[in-house]
Structure 1
Amino acid sequence: MTAEASREVPLGDLGPQRGAPGEGAPKRDKWANKMEFLFVMAGEIIGLGNVWRFPYLCFRNGGGAFLIPYFVVLLFCGFPLFFMETALGQFTSEGGVTAWRKICPMFEGVGMASQIILLYVSIYRTVVLAWILFYLFNSFRSPLPWATCDNWWNTGKAIYANPHMFQPDSNWSFLHNTTPSGDYTDDYFDVIRVLRMTDQMSLINVHWQVAACLLVAWIMCYFCVWKGVKSTGKVAYFTATFPYLLLFILFIRAVTLPGAADGLKYYLMPDFSRIADPRVWSDAANHVFISFAVCQGVLTALGSYNKYNNNCFKDCVTLVCLNSATSIFAGFVVFSVLGFMSYEMNVSIEEVASAGFDLCFMVLPKALSLLPGFSFWAVLFFLMCLFLDLDSQFVLVESLATNITDMFPHFLRRPGRREKLVLVIAAFCYLLGLVFVTEGGITLFYMFDHYGAGHISLRFIACFETVVIAWVYGANRFYDNIEDMIGYQPFPLLKYCWLFVIPLVCWMTLVYDLNNSHIVGVYGYEPGSWMFILGGLLMLIPLMCIPVYINPQNMTTPSSDLRQAWPHKPVLTLCNHVIFKGQAKPPRTAGERDEKMMMETSGV
């Protein structure tokens, strides 16, 4: 019996009697070594959010005091989910859909919900990569085009450099300020060259220069993953490490700027009174869920390429620590630059501090234009952003291709099919992504980001994932599976987090966020109620997969398959009548486990 075949029936598991999804299909690839897995995972979870979201959240939510709710949520929610999804993929050797089918057929819809969110993110987040490429290409010009008003596209009107232009909730009035000498960075991003926002906010008029950058972004993603993990792992060696070199160079320059110390003080000065604000805890939960790519099927897909006896627990600890350290370190760079900017403009830090697109495409480009050798620093900054976002994006495409392939292994694992599948995914996502580079595309972008793939959807899925693993499949049973893989059981805190803490925290923060939900305004433009309805549909479509899949699975799955519903007491009852009663297999002995490991190592 081969190692792959022996894995068809997990530890202590009676398992489904029907064949596994990939039975009889060509053999699945594996990571060439552990470092490839670590670099690819690091590339996925460490991205622009570490630069443009975390530092601002610290600043807004009590400085250094924000680290308390952040690490509490990370310890009791983020890491347990991160490890659970990775271990699930490694244990089943299946992607984000078929892994759930394998451990509990009734809840395959949990995996499908994750895939829809993964598709959302793959479509709209590549637009950010296109914006970065647009800025990078223009950074080679001198002077920087967003720093002057003597370019061919300027209308003769400038935007006055007032502090409100840096705020996401500013209104449209600043667009009509015609002070001839001022700041043009906001205008460059919003109205003139990148987004080309107008009063009509049309979804038809495509900005073809950004569309060309979007095409380049998808071509880059395609060639990073077209050969599967064999190419993805090799590319990640560079894309996951090079941004750290650039970030370190920017750090050395930033901390030597005048005003940097004031910026760092605002970044880290603790205000412990903010800890009592539920908004702070909600922000911490939102950032952890988004930053660690949980509930998207990505971690399960990447973990599925590990060898069965890989110590995924140790890997997850390393990756979580690296992610958090990167976020904190990036804050030193960002707020040193913001301190310099406030010093140069003679305004307070509060007036220039911002997050998201405002920080990456407005505030920091303006600050870089004030430096000697501004073109060099602009190129360096946008190169860093490019590689931070590129590996996050192509890993999403890799995960999507993996999950689809595992659903149809007999057809898609044949030679040449992988390349065609990735090409179809790239072309499909590019065509749909064109709507995001229209005049009103930014409104749709915010709808997808806030509702479709936002924290509300992720926390709903997190609740179902932990309920299925901890209550339906069984937390103790899954712990036995983990022990079978890595040789020991991790500390039991994880088990209780799956059972109680994560569902409780998710529901509490969900109630808070739903009560405070509102229509998202975009740079002063308030969309109509139809956008709120669209956002609700984007959020409901993936969540509806869960109940929709339960009934068909109930009708098509033999009752003996449903014995997984009560793993420690394999009895299936209906209206107090026993439908099925089985005996659970005893756990593997140490000798049996060693024999399994030897078979996998030798490739038998």
Structure 2
Amino acid sequence: MADLESKEDTVTSNVAKKEGGPLPTTQESTASGPAVSTPVTSFDVEDQTAVSPGVERGYWGSNAEFIMAALAITIDYSLIWRLPYMCYRNGGVVYMILYGIFLLLFGVPIFYMDLSLGQFCGKGPAHIYNLSPLLRGIGVGMVVVIAMCHPLYSTITSWSLYYLFQSGSTVLPWSTCSNMWNTISCIDDHTASFNTSQDSYMFRMLSSPGEEYFNRRVLDISTGLEQSGGLRWQLVGCTFATALLIFAALFWGVKVTGKVMLVTVPLIFLLLLALFIRGMTLPGSLEGVKYALLPSASSLLELQTWTSALISAWYTIGMATGVISTLASYKRFKSTALRDSYIVCGVSLGVGMITSMMVFAFFGAIAQHKGVAMHNVVTAGPSTVYIAMAEMLARLPVPQVWSFALFFMLLLMGLSTQVLTAEVVITAVLDSVPRRSRLIRIVITAAVCGVSFLLTFPYLSEGGIYFFTMVDISVMRLSLYVFGFLQLLTVGWIYGIEQLSRDIKMMTGLRPPVVFKPIWCFVLPPLSC
């Protein structure tokens, strides 16, 4: 590896000539021979403005665009159904406090590392880990996992779009038991009353109209994994529509994607705030909030509470996915890094708390309406939103408006996440081609969107929910541990924290906080095992 200190002055002058652009390789032309390229460090760093005449790799139009894109990754589906549910099952406010501590203590350093690697290298994760030739497959593996998980997000987005279309019905189809897909076990306000003393609704294993709508109408779930069944063509159509929207947001590069994020993310915040205010006004909502805020000292003694809070924090900042480093690779070389890390993690924590309180307010309203105890309101997974919250909104005045708000927010979350995860794959391919052009960008974007659409088909079948659960557990969760550990090992011990600190100082003018170094080297690696 070349000596960084001896080349710092040359690099700084070259960067100044680029007016704050990405770090170029040092190129000196002489009369006697061609230009010689000398790498600054072991990173594979390129002159991003000279890859193809008249075509540059592209940058965010402003730092606000990057922040909004990063927030779109941290504020996704997991924040509205996984985080509240884990809080619901693991001690309420105790779990939320642990989650906040882990997000600020460990999430910020991880986010900062990913951001710095992408911004310094100016490439996606598939090329960042060239800093250690033996372990360069880490970045490639991250891209492969993202490519495998993209169809999962497409599936959830198709559900949201389908519900959004149905929100325009005169009578919301998940509010009654008088539909053709309902069974004799379906029970609603017009068919029976609930026995509040014995929780007969749960005891008798009766089904609600929202549950039957999701399971029998939307998914039409088969009896098992071996019975894949036919495709749900309504969902196929919704997935195709979302694929077209994703292509439209991606084909022209980050300059257009950034503008899309500036619109979608604030709109998500506004819709979330409206649902939060409405949820707090529901009868029984205060009981749900009290349930969340009532501390459970016994949960502190359970290992599951601590590990679940830690994993939730890692999910929030997109650890070991390569998404943040990909987004950071489109930042200007001299852009801020530490400040952006605190902004994104801090806002994500605040939004997570507001979202959890909103969901608990709905839980309290559902519990009062059904006459059940708080601990019997919902089960894990999509049922939090697509069954429980959908049913509660269907009982409000003008339910179409509130259902539209909920599922439009979920649709925006899904589309934003899909756009940015697809960008990881597109960037990995573009960084590997010797010449860039707008036509190549369009072709690669179309290919990624098209292949992802086709790979979504198994999840859109009658047995698709079983495939969905299997891939979610075996791919997404397992990769978090494997690639997280390998990333920390490679950057912290092989490339070296001191070398990384010098790189960051060259880039931003400031070394990383001293406390980050032991966290990167000694605390996080064993925790990620």
- Same fold (TM > 0.5): yes
Distance change (3 Å), C-alpha of 1:70 and 1:421: same
Q: Report whether the alignment pairs 1:54 with 2:83.
A: yes
Matched-pair contact (CA < 8 Å) for 1:86–1:312: yes
Alignment of 1:350-361 (within 5 A): 350-361=375-386
Match of 2:213 in 1: 188
Distance change (3 Å), C-alpha of 1:241 and 1:449: same
Deviation at 1:416, TM superposition (A): 0.9
Match of 1:199 in 2: 223
Q: Report whether the alignment pairs 1:453 with 2:476.
A: yes
Matched-pair contact (CA < 8 Å) for 1:7–1:92: no
Matched-pair contact (CA < 8 Å) for 1:52–1:359: yes
Alignment of 1:63-102 (within 5 A): 63-101=92-130
Q: Which amino acid aligns with 1:448?
A: V
How far apart, in 1, do the equivalents of 2:102 and 2:509 lie? 28
How far apart, in 2, do the equivalents of 1:443 and 1:156 lie? 22
Match of 1:125 in 2: 153
Query: Alignment identity in percent?
Result: 26
Q: Report whether the alignment pairs 1:7 with 2:24.
A: yes
Runs of 4+ in 1 over 3 A off after TM superposition: 1-9, 12-24, 160-163
How far apart, in 1, do the equivalents of 2:66 and 2:363 lie? 35
How far apart, in 1, do the equivalents of 2:183 and 2:264 lie? 41
Deviation at 1:83, TM superposition (A): 1.0
Matched-pair contact (CA < 8 Å) for 2:22–2:47: no
**Deviation string, structure 1 residues 280-318 (Cα, Å, up to 9, x no partner):** 111112212222112111111100111111111100110
How far apart, in 1, do the equivalents of 2:221 and 2:463 lie? 6
How far apart, in 2, do the equivalents of 1:489 and 1:452 lie? 35
Deviation at 1:203, TM superposition (A): 2.5
Q: Which amino acid aligns with 1:459?
A: Y
Which of 389-398 and 73-82 deviates more?
73-82
Q: Which amino acid aligns with 1:38?
A: I
Distance change (3 Å), C-alpha of 1:197 and 1:14: same
**Deviation string, structure 1 residues 163-218 (Cα, Å, up to 9, x no partner):** 9xxxxxx99x95xx6xxxx6211111112x11111225532510101111111111
Match of 1:469 in 2: 491
How far apart, in 2, do the equivalents of 1:5 and 1:135 lie? 44
Distance change (3 Å), C-alpha of 1:392 and 1:197: same
Q: Report whether the alignment pairs 1:150 with 2:178.
A: yes
Q: Report whether the alignment pairs 1:499 with 2:521.
A: yes
Matched-pair contact (CA < 8 Å) for 2:22–2:120: no
Match of 1:485 in 2: 507
Match of 1:377 among 391, 399, 402: 402
How far apart, in 1, do the equivalents of 2:24 and 2:94 lie? 46
Match of 1:443 among 466, 473, 477: 466
Structure 1 length as normaliser, TM-score? Answer: 0.77
Distance change (3 Å), C-alpha of 1:304 and 1:14: closer
Match of 2:29 in 1: none
Q: Which amino acid aligns with 1:142?
A: T
Alignment of 1:300-449 (within 5 A): 300-408=325-433, 410-411=434-435, 413-449=436-472
Deviation at 1:5, TM superposition (A): 8.1
SS in 2 for 1:125: helix
How far apart, in 2, do the equivalents of 1:362 and 1:203 lie? 23
Matched-pair contact (CA < 8 Å) for 1:159–1:187: yes
Deviation at 1:15, TM superposition (A): 3.4
Matched-pair contact (CA < 8 Å) for 2:214–2:386: yes
Deviation at 1:58, TM superposition (A): 1.6
Deviation at 1:73, TM superposition (A): 2.4
Q: Report whether the alignment pairs 1:288 with 2:305.
A: no
Matched-pair contact (CA < 8 Å) for 1:55–1:267: no
How far apart, in 1, do the equivalents of 2:81 and 2:335 lie? 33
**Deviation string, structure 1 residues 238-265 (Cα, Å, up to 9, x no partner):** 1111011111111221111111110101
Which of 52-61 and 134-143 deviates more?
52-61
Matched-pair contact (CA < 8 Å) for 1:149–1:158: no
Match of 2:165 among 101, 117, 137: 137
Matched-pair contact (CA < 8 Å) for 1:239–1:390: no
How far apart, in 2, do the equivalents of 1:198 and 1:121 lie? 22
How far apart, in 2, do the equivalents of 1:100 and 1:200 lie? 41
SS in 2 for 1:299: helix
Which of 433-442 and 399-408 deviates more?
399-408
SS in 2 for 1:53: helix
Q: Aligned Cα RMSD in Å? A: 2.4
Q: Which amino acid aligns with 1:154?
A: W
Structure 2: tracts of 5 or more residues without a match: 1-13, 27-37, 189-193, 196-201
Q: Which amino acid aligns with 2:261?
A: A
**Deviation string, structure 1 residues 465-516 (Cα, Å, up to 9, x no partner):** 1111111111011011111111112321111111110111112xxxxxxxxx
Structure 1: tracts of 5 or more residues without a match: 164-169, 508-604
How far apart, in 1, do the equivalents of 2:39 and 2:132 lie? 11
Distance change (3 Å), C-alpha of 1:8 and 1:275: farther
Q: Report whether the alignment pairs 1:243 with 2:268.
A: yes
Which of 465-474 and 280-289 deviates more?
280-289
Matched-pair contact (CA < 8 Å) for 2:23–2:122: no
Distance change (3 Å), C-alpha of 1:19 and 1:335: closer
SS in 2 for 1:68: helix
Match of 2:191 in 1: none
